[in-house]
Chains A and B, each alone.
Chain A
Amino acid sequence: GQNIDQPTEMTATEGAIVQINCTYQTSGFNGLFWYQQHAGEAPTFLSYNVLDGLEEKGRFSSFLSRSKGYSYLLLKELQMKDSASYLCAVAGSGGGADGLTFGKGTHLIIQP
Chain B
Amino acid sequence: DAGVIQSPRHEVTEMGQEVTLRCKPISGHNSLFWYRQTMMRGLELLIYFNNNVPIDDSGMPEDRFSAKMPNASFSTLKIQPSEPRDSAVYFCASSLLRRESPLHFGNGTRLTVT
Q: A residues bordering B, Cβ < 8 Å?
A: 30-31, 33, 41-45, 48, 50, 87, 89, 91, 95-105
If A42-B107, A96-B95, A98-B48 touch, whether A103 touches B42 (CB-CB below 8 Å) is yes
CB atoms of B101 and A96 under 8 A apart? yes
Number of A-B contacts (CB under 8 A): 63
Look across to chain A and name the residue whose beta carbon is closest to the beta carbon of B91: A42
Query: B95 — nearest CB in chain A belongs to which residue?
Result: A96
Taken together as a complex, chains A and B put the C-alpha atoms of A50 and B18 apart, in Å, by 41
Q: A87-B43, A96-B95, A101-B45 are in contact. Are A41 and B102 (CB under 8 A)?
A: no
Asked whether B25 is an interface residue with its Cβ less than 8 Å from the other chain, the reply is no
B15 to chain A minimum Cβ distance, whole angstroms, is: 25
What range describes how many residues of B lie at the interface?
A: 20 to 34
Rounded to whole Å, the gap between the CB of B62 and the closest CB of chain A is 19
A97-B50, A99-B56, A100-B103 known; A43 vs B43 contact (CB < 8 Å): yes
Against A, the Cβ 8 Å flags (1 = close, 0 = not) of B38-50 are: 0001111100101
The answer to whether B105 touches A42 (Cβ under 8 A) is yes
B55 within 8 A of A: yes
Alpha-carbon distance between A91 and B102 when the two chains are bound, in angstroms: 10
CB distance from A3 to the nearest CB of B (A): 12
- Please give the residue numbers on chain B whose beta carbons come within 8 Å of chain A beta carbons, in ascending order: 31, 33, 41-45, 48, 50, 55-56, 91, 95, 97-108
For B56, list chain A residues within 8 Å (CB).
98-99
Across the interface, name the chain A residue whose C-beta is closest to B97: A97
CB distance from B95 to the nearest CB of A (A): 6
Given contacts A42-B91, A42-B106, A45-B104, contact A100 B98 (CB under 8 A): no
What 16 additional pairs, Cβ within 8 angstroms, besides A43-B105, A87-B42, A101-B45?
A31-B99, A42-B107, A43-B43, A45-B103, A45-B104, A95-B98, A96-B31, A96-B95, A96-B100, A97-B97, A97-B98, A97-B99, A100-B45, A100-B103, A103-B42, A104-B42
**Which residue from B33, B48, B99, B108 sits with its C-beta under 8 Å from A42?**
B108
